[in-house]
Amino acid sequence: MKLLTLAAPIIVVMLVAIAPAFAVDTDLTLSEQGIQRSADGGLLEALMFYVCAAVVLGSGLAICLSKNIVRMAVYLFGTLASVALMYFLLLANFIGVIQLIVYAGGTLILLIFGVMLTSKSPWAKFDVKRNELIAAGVVCALFACLLLFVVVNAEWPLETDAVVVGSSMTQFGVGLLTNYLVPFEAMSVLLLVVMIGAAYMARQE
């Protein structure tokens, strides 16, 4: 029994390590002709998708149901990381990595940091009043209706022979600096304004 309790974490780590290994999958031998994938995807890929989806939904529910704010942040980490895994499964490596570095590595840490600095009790609790619950329920129901409407009415074309030629990164970068330069620059100006605003608010009087 003692042996089992010792071995269990190691097995868990191995499983967690194997999961993205299947997701982060652009093979060297295929990179010359571009990344090819078969239309049906394969059993393991489907399995990985359902595992990721289960983690996204499960940790999302846990965020809603938990009352401890720091625990919520951990559940949020689960959601963000498995959404990144789903990006990897779709071969959108760049978006997946940016998801990890910006949300999981940056935003989440700032969030936890804020909670740590502002909380007064040792365990920051989150109590919901009844009218807040009703308001949140109404908003969520409306949003769920909207989402369902979109999902049911949208067309989902199935790409049978999806071949990405060359590195997707190069195309992404070229596209960002040619066809989509104006939105890109607008976003960077917005971020600059936000940064200046934050520095202004944090300055010493």
Write out the residues near another protein by the rule CB under 8 A.
2-3, 5-6, 9, 12-14, 16-18, 20-22, 24-31, 36-38, 41-45, 68, 70-71, 74, 77, 81, 93-94, 97-98, 100-101, 104-106, 108-110, 112-113, 116-117, 122-123, 167-170
For another protein, give the closer residue by CB, 24 or 60.
24
Distance of closest approach, residue 194 Cβ to another protein, in angstroms: 15
Distance of closest approach, residue 3 Cβ to another protein, in angstroms: 6
For another protein, give the closer residue by CB, 56 or 93.
93
Distance of closest approach, residue 33 Cβ to another protein, in angstroms: 11
Signed CA dihedral, 146, 151, 155, 160: sign only: positive
Distances (CA, A) of 36 to 33, 90, 110, 162, 177: 8, 12, 39, 7, 27
Distances (CA, A) of 23 to 28, 127, 156: 15, 38, 22
Distance of closest approach, residue 7 Cβ to another protein, in angstroms: 10
Whether the CB-CB separation of 99 and 83 falls below 8 Å is answered with: yes
CA gap 145, 33 in Å, rounded? 43
For another protein, give the closer residue by CB, 43 or 152.
43
Contacts 24+ apart (CB under 8 A), 101-109: 104/77, 104/80, 108/73, 108/76, 108/77, 108/80
Distance of closest approach, residue 188 Cβ to another protein, in angstroms: 15
Q: For the chain, how long is the longest CA-to-CA vector?
A: 62
For another protein, give the closer residue by CB, 36 or 135.
36
For another protein, give the closer residue by CB, 31 or 179.
31
